[in-house]
Amino acid sequence: MPAPVASRSAVPVARFAIYALLGSLACLFLTPFAWMLATALKSAEQTAAWPPSFVPYAYYAPLDGVRTEVVRTAEITAPSVLVTLADGRRELLPAAQFDAATSSARLSRDAAPQPARLLRAVAPGEWRVTERPATFSSTAALRWDVLPASSIESTVAPRWENFSLALATIGGRSVEDVQGTVATTRSSGADSDVTFLTFLGNTLTVCLLGVVGAVFSNALIAYAFARLRWPGRDWIFAVTLATMMVPFPVLMVPLYGVFKDLGWIGTLLPLWVPAWFGSAFHIFLLRQFFRTIPEELSEAARIDGCNEWQIFWRVILPLSKPVLAVVALFHFLHAWNDFLAPLLYLTKRSTFTLAVALQNYQTQNGGTPWHLLMAASAVVVTPIIVLFFFTQKFFVRGIATTGMKG
Amino acid sequence: MNPPARRRSLFTGLAFASPWLLGLSLFTLYPVAMSLAYSFCDYSILSSPVYIGLDNYQRLTSDDLFWKSLRNTLWFAAFSVPLGAVVSLSLALLLNQEVRGRAVFRTIFYLPSIVPIIASSMLWLWIFNGQYGLLNYALTPLLDLFGARPPIWLADPNWAKPALVLMSAWGTGNTMIIYLAGLQNVPRELYEAASIDGAGPFRRFWHVTLPQISPVIYFNTIMGLIGALQVFTQAFVISGGTTDGNPGRSTLFYAVYLFDNAFYKLRMGYASAMAWILFVLIVLLTWLATRLAAKRVHYSE
């Protein structure tokens, strides 16, 4: 990295201010990631807790004398009573709805009084807790109690099982099915052997086949524009640059027609085959680099009897590994992240890429199980971040090049 | 060059460029031409296109949703492009200081821009959640001081677009890296000369930095604008995987309405006319920016 140009600030206060600013901005930029991970590790009910917390908790309380995992349903804010009705049911009621003199209670403000026995008075600050259902949408009657905060034990409990649950359900299985609480049933029309691995395999296919094509073809093409002289070269290159301005929506409809005529709709082909035919941006990037390689190297090889292919393959490509890595990374990133094209061309769930599967997962769940949506998102994001950490110097160099004038 | 050598060089050049000659024709030039042709046709992909002259364009002028989507998109571009420029240039200026841990900070600021847009849209949909969202948790005590309540963001037609603009500022890492490279190319002598002439940090920024990086500003603005005019995925996600532009059509962006016409309503001629209007708009804006830049952008040799 070149030395920074700004001179060392003489004032310590100014330096401190820069660090403080950088530090707080860094926190601000990282917070969404932390929130994604925190949510992914929470229980469903904790995603809907207020105030929200970055720490995933589990709560335990004695129910009928047995330490049980519970959900804190509500904090008692007004004086209340716990009563037993004639049929034996317990109710938690506002204190005003219980009349101690007649030993009767009204279940709502306008309901008729009915006999009730006072169990105890409940002070504000206590919690109503409910037994945590064993499964996501269990309808069995749940035990509950009202307890002082001091007898509710909270422990930090990241729920890593959310990840396996999200991966199992993104394939189309229901949560109940995964947890084994209902007999395995499948909604009609769902492809039964589709799993998370199907989507991962599709995505990797599109990414890797595309990367191989993009690196090889763009290098070949850029070589023609950078190192060869031929009639019409500059004219075609000008057209190439101009096509970078064409917005995808202009191509969308006719491309769909082209792929339909080829019989490629519903397959992965439209997502990686075009990479083998070059892209303007990568051609430009590689051409800029190839032009910096001294012409003498090509001349020497030519004198040694090499033809253009041999010069390309044995002289230019070995010298261009860093920029080829940039093209490979950019294409991989693009293919992994692309949403609109797969949304257009993929019609069957069995061909979905992760990006489309993730969106589909949101729709099929009505967008509410945030812990599972965030777990699935984290799974889609993590490989890209890991890849970035191992390759960031290529990334930074590659992006920096794109902004430089040619 | 003599004719045989000329022919040989043409052959070699075409051979190396052949994948692109095919790709350029089949995947770019042919679709561009066909898109223009379809825009004058009634076309649903299920049957052959029928020439209808300027009908599509005429109908667009009286299509309220077309105008709404155009306004929404221009609104989004008008705020997200300048905000993105300010955020990314500010970050680049900070990173261009001589500070320890620059590489770490650079990584942190860059990271959001590589997150798949589908995942970041989902994440921000959750952060902006009006009931349990992290953002409103952070804002509530602050707004309480003024007796105000935080908006419900993506559930409120008035706040959905501002929310998407905020979200876009998180992902400006790419632009930041390009600015940073531009800043590092500014010759150190210019700063020294300016300091000797008695220029403070602000005047140095105004009279040295800005003119020197003006080509980069020009490049980033054009790219940002072209990107913003095609905004799609965020709106698709917050509308629950539909092209409705929820809430209340406030995020019915141009690309969303175009997609809706082309692939849900199968009005592909109509969508092609929309696509060409967008294309012309982009060319016009780029031309305008180039005209403006010709006076102000400073290319050093």
Q: pLDDT tens digits, residue range B59-73? A: 999 999 999 999 999
Judge: A277–B22 Cβ closer than 8 Å, yes or no.
yes
- Residue located via tokens 């099929």: A364
| Closest-approach residue (CA) in chain A for B181 | A400
Check residues B238 and A193 and name the one with the higher pLDDT: B238
Residue A404: is its pLDDT beyond 50? Answer: yes
User: Would you call the peptide bond into A318 cis, given omega within 30 degrees of 0 as the criterion?
Assistant: no
d(CA B117, CA A354): 12
Continuous segment of H or E residues that includes residue B260 = none
pLDDT band with cut points at 50, 70 and 90 for residue A137: low
Q: What is the pLDDT of residue A1?
A: 43
Residue among A177, A151, A172 at smallest CA distance from A62: A151
In a mutagenesis test of the A interface, which of B14, B20, B30, B88 is the best target, namely the one with the most A β-carbons within 10 Å? B20
Judge: A339–B258 Cβ closer than 8 Å, yes or no.
no
Q: What is the pLDDT of residue A372?
A: 93
In a mutagenesis test of the A interface, which of B9, B40, B123, B185 is the best target, namely the one with the most A β-carbons within 10 Å? B123
d(CA B246, CA B104): 38
CA atoms within 13 A on the CB side of A387: 17
Alpha-carbon gap: A30 to the closest alpha carbon of chain B (Å): 7
- Strand-by-strand arrangement of the A127-131 sheet: A144-147, A127-131, A66-75, A57-63, A153-156
Q: Which residues of B touch A339 (CB under 8 A)?
A: 116-118, 233, 236
Indicate the residue type of A81.
Answer: V
pLDDT band with cut points at 50, 70 and 90 for residue A189: very low
d(CA A6, CA B192): 10
Judged by average pLDDT, the poorest of A59-68, A204-213, B83-92 is A59-68
> Is the CB of residue A336 less than 8 Å away from at least one CB of chain B?
yes
Task: Give the pair of three-digit tokens for residue A294.
Answer: 């001294």
- Strand-by-strand arrangement of the A104-105 sheet: A90-94, A80-85, A114-122, A104-105, A98-99
For B226, which of A35, A225, A245 is closest by C-beta distance?
A245
Q: What is the pLDDT of residue B300?
A: 61
Judge: A359–B17 Cβ closer than 8 Å, yes or no.
no
* Domain definitions of chain B by residue range: 51-114+172-296
> Is the CB of residue A399 less than 8 Å away from at least one CB of chain B?
yes
**Bridge partners for A114 per DSSP:** A105
Q: Encode A165-218 in three state secondary structure.
A: HHHHHHCCCCHHHHCCCCCCCCCCCCCCCCCHHHHHHHHHHHHHHHHHHHHHHH
Instruction: State residue B128 phi and psi, 5-degree precision.
Output: -80, -5
Q: What mean pLDDT is predicted for residues A395-403?
A: 73
Judge: B183–A5 Cβ closer than 8 Å, yes or no.
yes
CB pairs under 8 A between A and B: 305
Residues of chain B with pLDDT under 50: 301
d(CA A360, CA B228): 24
Check residues A188 and B135 and name the one with the higher pLDDT: B135
Distances (CA, A) of A244 to A227, A248, B254: 22, 10, 19
Q: A309-331 burial by CB neighbour count: b if 16+ within 10 A, else e?
A: eebbeebbbebbeebbbbbbbbb
> Is the CB of residue A30 less than 8 Å away from at least one CB of chain B?
yes
Q: A 140-179 residues with CB below 8 A of B?
A: none
Residues 6+ apart with CB under 8 A from B72: B161, B245, B249, B250, B251, B252, B253, B254
Architecture, CATH, for domain B51-114+172-296:
Orthogonal Bundle (1.10)
Classify residue A232 by burial, with Cβ atoms within 10 Å: 0-12, 13-18, 19+. exposed
Q: Residue B150's CB: how many other CB atoms inside 10 A?
A: 18
* Domain definitions of chain A by residue range: 57-156, 196-402
Q: Which residues of B touch A228 (CB under 8 A)?
A: 9, 12-13, 16
Sign of the four-CA dihedral A50, A45, B167, B238: negative
Q: Find out whether B183 and B92 touch, Cβ atoms under 8 Å.
A: yes
Task: Give the pair of three-digit tokens for residue A406.
Answer: 């040619």
For B132, which of A52, A228, A274 is closest by C-beta distance?
A52
Query: B74-107 pLDDT, tens per residue?
Result: 999 999 999 999 999 999 999 998 888 998 999 9
For B27, which of A255, A373, A381 is closest by C-beta distance?
A255
Sign of the four-CA dihedral B127, B258, B253, B89: positive
Task: Give the pair of three-digit tokens for residue B92.
Answer: 């680049």
Query: The complex's ipTM?
Result: 0.92
Judge: B232–A340 Cβ closer than 8 Å, yes or no.
yes
- What is the gyration radius of the CA atoms in chain A, in angstroms? 32
Q: A101-139 burial by CB neighbour count: b if 16+ within 10 A, else e?
A: eeebbbbeeeeeeeebeeeeebeeebbbbbbbbeebeee
d(CA A50, CA B134): 10
Q: What is the pLDDT of residue A342?
A: 96
**Bridge partners for A35 per DSSP:** none
| Closest-approach residue (CA) in chain B for A278 | B20
d(CA A80, CA A133): 26
Q: What is the pLDDT of residue B256?
A: 97
Distances (CA, A) of A355 to A204, A277, A337, A343, B115: 12, 24, 7, 9, 11
Q: What is the pLDDT of residue B158?
A: 95
Judge: A230–B12 Cβ closer than 8 Å, yes or no.
yes
d(CA A18, CA A35): 26
Instruction: State residue B222 phi and psi, 5-degree precision.
Output: -60, -50
Q: What is the pLDDT of residue A3?
A: 45
Judge: B279–A247 Cβ closer than 8 Å, yes or no.
yes
Sign of the four-CA dihedral B154, B160, B165, B168: positive
pLDDT band with cut points at 50, 70 and 90 for residue A350: very high
Judge: B9–A221 Cβ closer than 8 Å, yes or no.
no
Judge: A39–B116 Cβ closer than 8 Å, yes or no.
no
| Closest-approach residue (CA) in chain B for A24 | B105
Task: Give the pair of three-digit tokens for residue B242.
Answer: 């539909």
Residue among A270, A404, A234, A98 at smallest CA distance from B182: A404
Q: At B50, is the secondary structure helix, strand, or coil?
A: strand
Classify residue A10 by burial, with Cβ atoms within 10 Å: 0-12, 13-18, 19+. exposed
pLDDT band with cut points at 50, 70 and 90 for residue A138: low
Residue A5: is its pLDDT beyond 70? Answer: no
Residue among B27, B25, B53 at smallest CA distance from B39: B53
d(CA B95, CA A273): 40
d(CA A25, CA A263): 49
Alpha-carbon gap: A250 to the closest alpha carbon of chain B (Å): 5
> Is the CB of residue A239 less than 8 Å away from at least one CB of chain B?
yes
Q: Find out whether A249 and A310 touch, Cβ atoms under 8 Å.
A: no
Q: A 61-100 residues with CB below 8 A of B?
A: none
d(CA A300, CA A309): 14
Alpha-carbon gap: A39 to the closest alpha carbon of chain B (Å): 10
Q: Is CATH 1.10.3720.10 correct for A196-402?
A: yes
Residue A142: is its pLDDT beyond 90? Answer: no
- Residue located via tokens 């994001």: A381
d(CA A122, CA B72): 53
d(CA A124, CA B269): 66
